[in-house]
Amino acid sequence: MKTVLVSGAAGFLGSHLCARFLKENFHVIGMDNFITGSKKNIDFLKKNQNFQFINHDVSKYVEINNDLDYILHFASPASPIDYLKIPIQTLKVGSLGTHNLLGLAKAKNAVILVASTSEVYGDPLVHPQNESYFGNVNPIGPRGVYDEAKRFQEAITIAYHRFHNLDTKIVRIFNTYGPRMRLNDGRVLPAFIGQALRGEDLTIFGDGSQTRSFCYVDDLIDGIYKLLFSNYNYPVNIGNPNEISIKDFAQEIIKLTNSQQKIIYKPLPENDPLKRKPDIDLAKNILGWIPKVNRNEGLKLTYEYFCSLSKKELNLKEHQNFKSYNKLL
């Protein structure tokens, strides 16, 4: 039986990856320190005898006694609310954490796939964005800690590939949604649904003309799985190119939730991207991958998940205050 290590296992994407690899008959070692992940996300995995969990911060030295065949590095804050509150941890997990896991992959002769992001393109000046675009990023802006952590992550990963001949994969993830997203993580989809469920007006930052392209989580996980077993070592966009403006998306959420809320407008945060749409030609050509779940279907499944949350979870405005983590810096 092959063994895979998934960092960030208790997060949204990490928990889905663990479930997929267990389904594919892998021994899965999940690793997380719960700074943004949730124990609830992995409770259902613990019943599986092929799942092992280690509570650890990958920014510190990582020691695994097992043989490892694959490593997937998905540990990182991924929402603006989080990485604006824990900027140093965000930079450390993208730099030190990546370095630690690359070293582990080298020692174990394992394939490593790292989770990058469409944020490496910043506020793009080309549309849609393909993998050859270098991006338009402000390295010292409020969002720069996440963008630059991921850009460094890509750079050191490719350096290990070129210098040590390590088998590396890099996935550039575009906006993804689905069950086990945090309702209070600040991203537009859970924010809108949470506001609708609580009877609050939907908040749009800016005039609503900015665009996003939303990919359902099952499609994303399938693309990542295909990339891991491909022969391609450089960045690949995985996302759904079906683009929509935030204003139109708010109307879709109001219709989906059958709510009567108004839309209110607030100033756009600094360096918030105005457009986001993946060019997925590379994924189509080398992976044979395309997204299959349309937005209407995916939103219904996601809405059902959020409706299943307790009243306490629904009204929880903050994930945690991070004070105990910030004391350690």
| Dist CA 70 CA 326 (whole Å) | 31
Is residue 146 part of the annotated active site? The answer reads yes
Within 10 angstroms of residue 58's Cβ, the number of other Cβ atoms is: 26
- Report phi then psi at 328, rounded to 5: -85, -5
- Report phi then psi at 278, rounded to 5: -80, 140
Place of tokens 């683009």: 243
- Cα–Cα distances in angstroms (integers) from residue 130 to residues 86, 202, 279, in the given order: 30, 32, 5
Which uninterrupted H or E stretch holds 216? strand 215-216
Residue 247 contacts residue 204 (beta carbons within 8 Å) = yes
Tokens of 206: 């800016």
Residue type, 140: I
CA angle 192, 193, 196 (to 5 degrees): 85
Tokens of 16: 């889905």
| Dist CA 299 CA 302 (whole Å) | 5
The active-site residue, picked from 70, 83, 121, 146, is 146
- Cα–Cα distances in angstroms (integers) from residue 101 to residues 88, 105, 190, 299, 323, in the given order: 19, 6, 31, 34, 26
- Cite the active site residues: 146
